């Protein structure tokens, strides 16, 4: 067994020059994932529906030292997923990392939720994860160099929620199932398949939870009673887990859900 890694263990986390596709790249987690990878030297292909928002993220990625290109498509069809992969090939020549950060939640109690809304959540979170993993995986298999597939899970795939989360919980449980099954299916190919499960982290969507208001304090108190670390998440809390899953450091880690949640799911 080679012990060359002992001379440079930090090199296990190196993604410089790798090409990463990030879907949902204009959203809170997608844009953060893109910037983390770009800051680590990866080329990033940013996919989402709004080109103007993608261009802003691309500019931020390039300011961090990475190369970026955008494609204004969601992974909502086989054709779109193939186009996203082809964009990576045309611009950077390979697909090494996939981060599926696109997703949707429609918070409604089951007796009030339309079936169409349930299907929308399942399509965005489950179908699109499956389609994009398949499209990127085909290219990774063709390249024969392995690869990293990172889906987006949630504590809600493991735990229930009392406030209208039947669609979201079901969708994230399904993502976990895809992660485990595909980790097994591609186990001998060099492609690892894992999911990152963030809890609440600071972003434009959650900024109100960090404010010094009575409502925010009440929500924090209830939520943090279940978080052993005793605080809400920060963007930097996701950097290490994401780089681990995107790099050689996780070559023997597949079919797992990595919860970056301050211990929330341990309780």
Enzyme catalytic residues = 168
Residue 150 CA to residue 147 CA, distance in Å, equals: 10
- Per the CB < 8 A criterion, the answer to whether 144 and 159 are in contact is no
List phi, psi (to 5°) of 139.
-70, -40
- Measured at the alpha carbon of residue 48, what is the angle toward residues 104 and 55, in degrees to the nearest 5? 135
Distance, in Å, from the CA atom of 47 to the CA atom of 26, rounded to the nearest integer, reads: 8
The DSSP 8-state label assigned to residue 195 in this structure reads E
State which H helix or E strand residue 148 sits in: strand 147-152
- 43-47: strand order across its sheet: 67-71, 43-47, 19-23, 97-100, 147-152, 191-198, 257-260
């Amino acid at each position: 067994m080679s012990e060359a890694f002992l001379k440079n263990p930090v090199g296990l986390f190196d993604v410089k020059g790798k090409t990463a596709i990030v879907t949902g790249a204009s959203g809170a987690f997608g844009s953060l994932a893109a910037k983390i990878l770009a800051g680590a030297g990866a080329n990033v292909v940013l996919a989402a529906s709004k080109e103007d928002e993608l261009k802003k993220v691309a500019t931020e990625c390039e300011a961090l030292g990475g190369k970026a290109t955008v494609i204004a498509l969601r992974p909502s069809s086989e054709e779109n997923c193939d186009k996203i992969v082809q964009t990576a090939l045309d611009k950077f020549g390979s697909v090494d990392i996939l981060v599926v950060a696109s997703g949707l939640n429609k918070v409604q109690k089951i007796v009030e939720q339309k079936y169409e809304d349930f299907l929308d959540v399942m399509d965005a979170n489950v179908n699109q994860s499956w389609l994009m993993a398949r499209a990127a995986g085909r290219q990774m298999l063709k390249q024969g160099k392995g690869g990293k597939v990172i889906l987006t899970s949630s504590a809600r795939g493991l735990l229930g929620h009392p406030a209208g989360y039947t669609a979201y919980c079901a969708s994230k449980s399904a993502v976990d199932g895809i992660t485990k099954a595909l980790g097994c299916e591609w186990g001998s190919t060099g492609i690892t398949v894992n999911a990152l499960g963030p809890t609440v982290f600071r972003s434009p969507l959650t900024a109100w939870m960090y404010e010094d208001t009575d409502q925010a304090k009440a929500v924090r108190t209830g939520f943090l009673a279940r978080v052993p670390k005793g605080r809400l998440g920060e963007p930097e809390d996701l950097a290490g887990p994401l780089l681990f899953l995107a790099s050689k450091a996780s070559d023997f880690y597949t079919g797992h859900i990595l919860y970056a949640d301050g211990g929330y799911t341990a309780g």
